[in-house]
Chain A
């Protein structure tokens, strides 16, 4: 590779760092006492205690580059403050810590005495890697496919209508109610529900909304946002734009996202910054909506439908970063007979090891299984045969951990448990048909 190309690559990487360098990131880069408390807080280190798995060590790779560019001492006497020029081998070596060893879960941040946001630094690293074509190919591909789906929505509209018609029939059969509808493109509906591509996020929601008599319509698009994983605000914004435009066009009061941690983080917390202002609609997770329905008595649930002990895995994005800790517990206490807390839980819960887009990258399967050892231990210690979660990433990872570590549990989504309880309650209250004469 020529010197010119090498310089362009480094300039591109440094340019990407500069673009994301705001006050939050500067603070995270400048404050670190190297106390090492973040080590034990990290699920990757706790599962595989090696020095390179300490969050501060990961962040140091970016800090050294930042100091060289911005610290007066780092510019003059780099050796004195651990400043370093960025090289292409450094960039290559950044890919694993940024994309595989850090799931952006922020457990290190809440356990840091100074609140250093190492996840923010790793997102900056991801931005540098994405800008220089060093991001995992699969994440790039999934992000670009999502954008293409938005750009060619008209071509998919009729196909999607057919799919939804099929799902509507399935939902009617499951509920035993032919009046159930899955509205699509319903102007003026109060809720725009954004699922994932799979039917498993649409069918239970349709049953729940029907039973709660909600005014809703289904989105043409899926909630996941691979642009966020890439640390690429342009792609992330393009993916989010599909949903924002749809919500504005339909005039909904709120967008409700399915059980997906990063989708919630993207649209609830990040998107207003990408778009430079608040949206004319609320953004909530289905978990919050379920909790409201339970509190308001809009769903009749029979917890005997879920008789086995159930433990709950808090998604990092929903619980630690989004504060949704009580809401899923309100739902669980109503939908299952025996709810058992995992230890630790809530904002202190360990990451499943599959976040940050890792579940979509096949070549890092072993890495994420190793990183999930702590989570596997937590599940085993909880002793419940059923593990509920309200994040699709977590669901996929926990299902893989279940097989890898022989946990012998059943991994289920929160909506699934609610629908079980709802269907049993419905059957219990059903008026028997009169005997045929």
Chain B
């Protein structure tokens, strides 16, 4: 288990595409560069959408895991 310090958490469970990405994009603006948002979601599309969103927006995907239908991911604001 990594020791990333989480600065904000988001509960995106039950939300369907594209809302998890929309909420994440909104939230990233509320933390400082270098800070990390950790989120949980249930929409399986998040597993592909969040890495793609990080790639295009230049944010760092620290981790993404799926267990018992719940996807957990952490994103560090880079810019």
B43, A199: Cβ atoms under 8 Å? Answer: yes
Residues of B within 8 A of A200 (CB): 16
Which of A147, A155, A167, A196 makes the CB contact (< 8 A) with B17?
Answer: A196
User: Roughly how many angstroms separate A166 CA and B66 CA in the complex, as a whole number?
Assistant: 11
Interface presence of B75 (CB below 8 A): no
* Most chain A CB neighbours (cut-off 10 Å) among B25, B48, B51: B48
Residues of B within 8 A of A197 (CB): 16-18, 43-46, 48-49
User: Digit string of A153-168 for contact with B (CB within 8 Å is 1, else 0)?
Assistant: 0011001101100110
Q: A141-B25, A162-B66 are in contact. Are A149 and B49 (CB under 8 A)?
A: yes
Which of A144, A155, A196 makes the CB contact (< 8 A) with B45?
Answer: A196
A152, B52: Cβ atoms under 8 Å? Answer: yes
User: Roughly how many angstroms separate A145 CA and B18 CA in the complex, as a whole number?
Assistant: 11
Q: Which residue of A lies closest to B23 (CB)?
A: A362
* Most chain A CB neighbours (cut-off 10 Å) among B46, B49, B52, B57: B52
User: Roughly how many angstroms separate A198 CA and B19 CA in the complex, as a whole number?
Assistant: 11
**B9-42 with Cβ < 8 A to chain A:** 16-19, 21-22, 25-26
Total interface residues in chain A, CB < 8 Å:
30
Q: A141-B53, A198-B17, A200-B16 are in contact. Are A160 and B47 (CB under 8 A)?
A: yes
B52, A222: Cβ atoms under 8 Å? Answer: no
Is the contact region of chain A dominated by helix, strand, or loop, or is it mixed? helix
B52, A145: Cβ atoms under 8 Å? Answer: yes
Which of A144, A145, A166 makes the CB contact (< 8 A) with B44?
Answer: A166
Query: How far in angstroms is the closest Cβ of chain A from B46?
Result: 7
Residues of A within 8 A of B57 (CB): 141, 144-145
User: Roughly how many angstroms separate A360 CA and B18 CA in the complex, as a whole number?
Assistant: 7
Q: Which residue of B lies closest to A170 (CB)?
A: B69
Q: Which residue of B lies closest to A202 (CB)?
A: B44
Q: A200-B16, A222-B17 are in contact. Are A149 and B48 (CB under 8 A)?
A: yes
Query: How far in angstroms is the closest Cβ of chain A from B22?
Result: 6
Which of A138, A159, A166 makes the CB contact (< 8 A) with B25?
Answer: A138
Interface presence of B8 (CB below 8 A): no
* Most chain A CB neighbours (cut-off 10 Å) among B18, B49, B57: B18
Query: How far in angstroms is the closest Cβ of chain B from A25?
Result: 29
Which of A138, A159, A196, A392 makes the CB contact (< 8 A) with B47?
Answer: A159
User: Roughly how many angstroms separate A162 CA and B43 CA in the complex, as a whole number?
Assistant: 14
Residues of B within 8 A of A146 (CB): 52
User: Roughly how many angstroms separate A362 CA and B21 CA in the complex, as a whole number?
Assistant: 12
B47, A198: Cβ atoms under 8 Å? Answer: no
Which of B25, B45, B53, B69 makes the CB contact (< 8 A) with A222?
Answer: B45
Interface presence of A103 (CB below 8 A): no
Q: Which residue of A lies closest to B48 (CB)?
A: A156
B48, A159: Cβ atoms under 8 Å? Answer: yes
B47, A145: Cβ atoms under 8 Å? Answer: no
User: Roughly how many angstroms separate A156 CA and B22 CA in the complex, as a whole number?
Assistant: 20
Which of B43, B51, B69 makes the CB contact (< 8 A) with A198?
Answer: B43
Interface presence of A349 (CB below 8 A): no
Q: A142-B21, A162-B66, A362-B22 are in contact. Are A198 and B45 (CB under 8 A)?
A: yes
Residues of A within 8 A of B55 (CB): 145, 148, 152
Q: A138-B22, A196-B17, A360-B22 are in contact. Are A156 and B45 (CB under 8 A)?
A: no
Residues of A within 8 A of B21 (CB): 141-142, 145
Interface presence of A224 (CB below 8 A): yes
User: Roughly how many angstroms separate A149 CA and B17 CA in the complex, as a whole number?
Assistant: 14
Q: A166-B69, A196-B17, A198-B17 are in contact. Are A144 and B48 (CB under 8 A)?
A: no
B49, A145: Cβ atoms under 8 Å? Answer: yes
* Most chain B CB neighbours (cut-off 10 Å) among A145, A148, A224: A145
> What are 8 inter-chain pairs, A to B, with CB distance below 8 A?
A138-B22, A149-B52, A160-B48, A162-B47, A163-B44, A197-B45, A197-B49, A199-B44
11 A-B pairs besides A137-B25, A152-B55, A162-B47 with CB distance below 8 A are A138-B22, A142-B21, A145-B57, A148-B55, A149-B48, A163-B66, A167-B44, A196-B17, A196-B45, A222-B45, A396-B19
Q: What 4 A-B pairs come out closest when comparing CB atoms?
A: A197-B45, A197-B17, A149-B52, A144-B56
